[in-house]
Copies of this chain bind each other. A is one copy, B any other.
Amino acid sequence: MAKEETGNKKTPISDLGKINAQNRLFEGSGYTNKEAIKFNESRDTQAVTVSKLLLEGIDFDLVYHPLKHLGYKSALLALGSIYANNYYPKILYYNVGLSARFYFEDIRQLWEGVLAAAKEHGIEQLGLDLTSSMTGLSIAVSASGEQASEVMKNLPKPDRHSLLCITGNVGAAYMGLHVLEREKAAFSKIPAAEADQYIQPDLSKYKYLLSQLLSPEINPKMLDRFKEDGLYPAAGYFITRGLAYTVKQLCQDTGLGARIYLDKIPIASQTFEMAEELNIDAITAALNGGDDYKFLFVIPLDKHERFHKEFPDMDIIGHLTGPEDGAVLVTPEGAGLELKAPGW
């Protein structure tokens, strides 16, 4: 962040004034900044709203998280929850707290990432309020979405026979994080006098893991596929705090139990390889690693075959059960272990 880093002149936000800074960030974006965002009037829609808070040092580390990627990813964090609930995102609102070490050019990078996500995902209204922070960068992001009432009224209900599907592998982002933490630790051991000569290590062999952490993606056409096929999930979750956390959340929300099968959980080969290299348990990464940015969907049992045919990219990892079972992980040997997740 420091002025010296880029060699380019950087502009303190106080030089511009925050309103002027905000106005510049919206210039040419096609959006008008607003404090109170009014929903467009429509007759037959339902709306949903979600809010997320990302704090520096907890949710991201700017040593290795480029600001533009962070802006993009922070938008997906909110948009993912909207999609998971079967709504189309329409509104995105940011409150960004900044300490004095951030310059206008830094925020412009962050905002470029936000704008890219907003455009890709059809956001119609966007808002930003910059505020001061004592320490570091704080990002509060809210999103609202809409869906036809007709669709929401006719959604299937989760029951004790519903299947659990996942839209991709889990644990890779967590492994990406460990790659970067290792490099950061190695760099910190270099004497300050030699830091200038430090050559960034070749991380290209970890490209997949790093991309899962730093630049996850969501297919903006996801809901359209459900619509075309007339196959809507009974419930959906955006997996950001680990698969186990999400399954436990699902059990609490539905009042049901769940069984997921260890050998059905998709884990990338790179995740296994890296887990071995770093001596980390790949299963723990997959269940509790977090930051996966994949979806968990609840599918009615009687739609099973059609789902399987229309969505071959989704993996069935288990099913709901009665509430007496709780959230259970079934091992390949058939043993049932209680699912554990931080926070529960």
The answer to whether A74 has its CB under 8 Å from any CB of chain B is: no
Cα A51 to Cα B146 in complex, Å, equals 18
When distances are taken between beta carbons in the complex, the residues of chain B under 8 Å from A132 are 55, 58
The answer to whether A108 has its CB under 8 Å from any CB of chain B is: no
Cα A129 to Cα B280 in complex, Å, equals 29
Cα A56 to Cα B132 in complex, Å, equals 10
Known: A53-B138, A95-B53. A41 touches B47 (CB 8 A): yes
Instruction: Tell me the smallest distance from the CB of A149 to a CB of chain B, in Å.
Output: 6
Chain A 7-36 per-residue mask, 1 if CB under 8 angstroms from chain B, else 0: 000000000011110000000000000011
Known: A41-B149, A45-B41. A36 touches B58 (CB 8 A): no
Known: A49-B49, A97-B55. A36 touches B142 (CB 8 A): no
Cα A52 to Cα B140 in complex, Å, equals 8
When distances are taken between beta carbons in the complex, the residues of chain B under 8 Å from A40 are 46-47, 149
When distances are taken between beta carbons in the complex, the residues of chain B under 8 Å from A136 are 134-135
Question: 16 pairs across A/B with beta carbons < 8 Å?
Answer: A17-B343, A36-B49, A37-B48, A39-B49, A41-B42, A41-B146, A41-B149, A43-B43, A47-B47, A51-B95, A52-B129, A53-B131, A53-B140, A58-B131, A58-B132, A144-B144
Contacts from A to B (Cβ < 8 Å)? 17-20, 35-53, 55-59, 81-82, 84-85, 91, 93, 95-97, 127, 129, 131-136, 138, 140, 142, 144, 146, 149, 152, 248-249, 252, 343-344
Given contacts A39-B46, A55-B138, 14 further A-B contacts (CB under 8 A): A19-B344, A36-B49, A36-B50, A36-B82, A38-B85, A38-B152, A41-B45, A49-B142, A51-B95, A51-B127, A59-B131, A134-B136, A135-B136, A144-B144
